[in-house]
Amino acid sequence: MNANRLHLLPMASSHRGALSPACTQCAEGRKMVLFVTGLCRFRCFYCPVSPARNQLDVVYANERRVRSDADVLDEARAIGASGTGITGGDPLGVVDRVEHYVRLLKHEFGADHDIHLYTHEPNPEKLARLARAGLDEFRLHIPHYLWGPLTSDGGAYRSVLETAPDWGIRRGVEVPVLPEKEAELRRLLLTLDAIGVDFVNLNELEFSETNETKMREHHYRVDPRNGWGVRGSRAVAERLVRELSLSVPVHYCSSRFKDGVQLRQRLRRRADRTAPAFARRTEDGTVVLGVVEAEVGEELDRWSARVVRRLGAGPGDYRVDEARRRVEVSPLALRRVARRLPWAAFEVEVYPTADALEVERAPLNAVARTKAGLALGGE
Ligand code: SF4
Query: In degrees rounded to 5, what are phi and psi of residue 107?
Result: -65, -40
pLDDT value, residue 358: 95
For residue 206, the 8-state DSSP code is B
Instruction: Report how far residue 214's alpha carbon sits from residue 224's, in angstroms, rounded to the nearest whole number.
Output: 19
Going from the Cα of 61 to the center of ligand 1, the distance in angstroms, rounded, reads 18
**Segments of 121-259 assigned E as strands:** 137-140, 170-177, 199-204, 250-253
Residues 6+ apart with CB under 8 A from 58: 35, 37, 38, 52, 65
Distance 262 CA to ligand 1 centre (A): 21
* CA-to-CA dists, residue 178 to 151, 203, 229, 237, 279, angstroms: 21, 9, 11, 9, 43
Nearest CA to ligand 1 atom 6: 44
pTM of the model: 0.90
Contact 140, 122 (CB under 8 A): yes
pLDDT at residue number 166: 94
For residue 119, the CA-to-ligand 1 centroid distance in Å is 8
For residue 64, the CA-to-ligand 1 centroid distance in Å is: 21
Cα–ligand 1 centroid distance for 145 (angstroms): 14
Indicate which atom in ligand 1 lies nearest the CA of residue 87: 3
What spacing in Å lies between the alpha carbon of 40 and ligand 1's midpoint? 6
Q: Looking at residue 367, what is its pLDDT?
A: 95
Ligand 1 mutation target, pool 35, 39, 40, 43, most atoms within 8 A of CB: 40
Nearest protein CA to atom 8 of ligand 1, as residue: 47
Query: 142 alpha carbon to ligand 1 midpoint, in Å?
Result: 11
CA–CA distance from 293 to each of 169, 173, 206, 311, 359 (Å)?
A: 52, 49, 39, 13, 17
Q: Is 375 helix (H, G, I), strand (E, B) or coil?
A: helix
**For residue 378, what pLDDT is reported?**
43
DSSP 105-156: HHHHH-TTSEEEEEES---HHHHHHHHHHT--EEEE---GGGTTT--GGGHH
CATH class label, 6-270 = alpha beta
Contact between residue 89 and residue 38 where contact means Cβ atoms under 8 Å apart: yes
Q: How many whole angstroms separate alpha carbon 164 and alpha carbon 156?
A: 12
Nearest CA to ligand 1 atom 5: 43
**In testing the pocket of ligand 1, which one of 47, 60, 94, 157 has its CB within 8 Å of the most ligand atoms?**
47
Distances (CA, A) of 79 to 104, 107, 286, 319: 17, 18, 14, 21
Which pLDDT value is given to residue 374? 66
Give nearest CA residue, ligand 1 atom 7. 47
Burial 228-262 (b: 16+ CB within 10 A, else e): bbbebbbebbbebbeeeebebbbbbbbbbbbebbb
Spans in the chain with pLDDT lower than 50: 1, 378-379
Q: What is the pLDDT of residue 85?
A: 97
**DSSP-assigned beta bridge partners for residue 16:** 6, 250
Q: How far apart are CA 379 and CA 376, in angstroms?
A: 5
CA 15 to ligand 1 center in whole angstroms: 24
- Whether the Cβ atoms of residue 29 and residue 264 lie closer than 8 Å to each other: yes
How many residues does this entry show for the chain? 379
Which one-letter amino acid corresponds to residue 177? V
Q: What is the pLDDT of residue 372?
A: 86
Which residues line ligand 1 at a C-beta cut-off of 6 Å? 40, 42-44, 47, 49, 88-90, 120, 141
Q: What is the 41 CA–ligand 1 centroid distance (Å)? A: 8
Mutate to test the pocket of ligand 1, among 35, 44, 173 (most ligand atoms within 8 A of CB): 44
Residues 189, 250: contact at Cβ < 8 Å?
Answer: yes
pLDDT value of residue 379: 37
Q: Candidates 46, 57, 90, 123: which one to mutate for ligand 1, based on the most atoms within 8 Å of Cβ? A: 90
